[in-house]
């Protein structure tokens, strides 16, 4: 017997409206289709109609969970056009802000996977760590209602000595706590039983589909622009690109957790090297030109292709690393059991706000 089962458009396992329609034979999925496109906001058109000084506020709201990564990609593009040199102090602050954002998103994704497979103690621990990371981020950015922190030319914040001391103590404690959580999670037989060899995406298929971010690195695709093409202050610090070869739910979970740990190490090093100084060479008007700006977001590479004139942006194209779509979900769900489909979807940690900008 074959029948169709519809999940969505809203579910706790994924962010934003997504609908999945499956054909099921017994306990196995024979076909699955992904429907999105219900939340398009035409951000690129709004950017082109906005005065240049106000564009960073629009860019920061393209995605609520990857806000600083989007801001950084846009800033890189406009800085190339205007040949702006960003002060080293500002570049270090950018690393701290973006890595705190990455930690919070990875831990949220990992906690959701643990919740779904029933290891609730792990999910509780991870959400507490996510809260700690968000608290540190709010300390650094000043708990502002206006979250525009990264702008073309630098940053809009200057962490005080007190904030640096708070960050130093907080990130040191965080690294130890996250290490303990990973140590408990990595060999949990309940987790292994529900995630190993589930939702496998081979390295060959990942390359064919041009998948990046956590999904790609969990399938052995060694591509992370922070390390392959270091920008801002990333070349100043020591950290490792995280990859796994399994390509399954467990591998994606491990990439999220281990990347969060590497991000914490980056923040610790960056905070120790903050010595104060100029935080911005602001860009309020632009010379005419075109450029491409990129930044490695929590879910993969974010690209802004922009053309600028004196008054503002005349063309803007936003490209996001492949999110969950029909081709990807079909590859992940080949021969999967119905009980595993939500776990597989959650492990991709896809974001419809990024995909439907």
Domains of the chain: 40-347 (1.10.645.10)
- Work out the pLDDT band at 43, boundaries 50, 70, 90: confident
The reported pLDDT for the residue numbered 40 is 66
Question: 254 exposed, middle or buried (CB, 10 Å; 0-12, 13-18, 19+)?
Answer: buried
The reported pLDDT for the residue numbered 310 is 80
What whole-number distance in Å separates Cα of residue 165 and Cα of residue 179? Answer: 22
What whole-number distance in Å separates Cα of residue 8 and Cα of residue 76? Answer: 36
Question: 45 exposed, middle or buried (CB, 10 Å; 0-12, 13-18, 19+)?
Answer: exposed
The reported pLDDT for the residue numbered 322 is 86
Round the average pLDDT of the chain to a whole number and report it: 90
What whole-number distance in Å separates Cα of residue 18 and Cα of residue 39? Answer: 10
- Asked if pLDDT for residue 12 goes beyond 80, the answer is no
CA 147, distance to chain mean position in Å, is 17
- Give the rounded percent of residues in the chain with a pLDDT score beyond 70: 92
The reported pLDDT for the residue numbered 285 is 86
- Asked if pLDDT for residue 106 goes beyond 80, the answer is yes
The reported pLDDT for the residue numbered 143 is 66
* Residue among 66, 348, 354, 350 at smallest CA distance from 215: 348
How do residues 180-236 score in pLDDT, each as one tens digit? Answer: 999 999 989 999 999 999 999 999 999 999 999 999 999 999 999 999 999 999 999
The reported pLDDT for the residue numbered 355 is 63
Mean pLDDT computed over 96-122: 95
The pair of three-digit structure tokens given for residue 340, joined into one six-digit string: 């595993």
Q: What is the DSSP letter of 145?
A: S
- What global pTM score does this model have? 0.93
Question: Which residues, listed in sequence order, are joined to residue 140 by a DSSP beta bridge?
Answer: none
Q: Which residues does 334 contact at the CB level (< 8 Å), separation at least 6? A: none
């Amino acid at each position: 017997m074959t029948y169709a089962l519809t999940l969505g458009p809203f579910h706790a396992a994924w962010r934003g409206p997504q609908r999945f329609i499956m054909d099921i034979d017994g306990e196995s999925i024979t076909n699955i289709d992904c429907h999105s496109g219900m939340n398009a906001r035409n951000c690129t058109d709004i950017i082109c109609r906005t005065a240049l000084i106000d564009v960073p506020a629009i860019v920061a709201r393209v995605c609520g969970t990857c806000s600083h990564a989007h801001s950084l990609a846009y800033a890189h593009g406009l800085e190339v056009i205007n040949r702006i040199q960003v002060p080293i102090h500002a570049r270090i602050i950018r690393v701290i802000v973006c890595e705190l954002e990455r930690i919070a998103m990875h831990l949220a994704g990992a906690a959701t996977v643990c919740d779904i497979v029933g290891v609730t103690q792990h999910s509780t621990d991870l959400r507490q760590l996510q809260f700690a990371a968000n608290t540190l981020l709010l300390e650094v950015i000043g708990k502002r209602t206006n979250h525009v922190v990264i702008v073309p030319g630098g940053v809009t914040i200057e962490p005080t000595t007190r904030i640096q001391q708070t960050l130093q103590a907080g990130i040191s404690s965080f690294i130890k706590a996250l290490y303990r959580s990973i140590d408990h999670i990595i060999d949990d037989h309940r987790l292994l039983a529900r995630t190993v060899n589930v939702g496998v995406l081979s390295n060959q298929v990942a390359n064919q589909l041009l998948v990046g971010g956590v999904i790609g690195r969990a399938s052995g695709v060694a591509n992370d622009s922070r390390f392959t093409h270091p920008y801002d202050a990333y070349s100043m610090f020591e950290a490792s690109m995280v990859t796994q070869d399994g390509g399954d739910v467990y591998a994606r979970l491990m990439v999220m957790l281990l990347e969060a740990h590497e991000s914490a190490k980056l923040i610790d090093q960056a905070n120790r090297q903050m010595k104060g100084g100029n935080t911005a060479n602001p860009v309020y008007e632009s010379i005419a030109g075109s450029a491409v700006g990129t930044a490695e977001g929590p879910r993969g590479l974010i690209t802004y292709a922009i053309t600028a004139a004196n008054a503002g942006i005349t063309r803007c194209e936003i490209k996001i690393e492949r999110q969950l779509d029909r081709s990807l979900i079909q590859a992940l769900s080949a021969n999967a059991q119905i009980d595993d489909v939500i776990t597989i979807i959650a492990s991709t940690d896809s974001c419809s706000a990024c995909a439907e900008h």
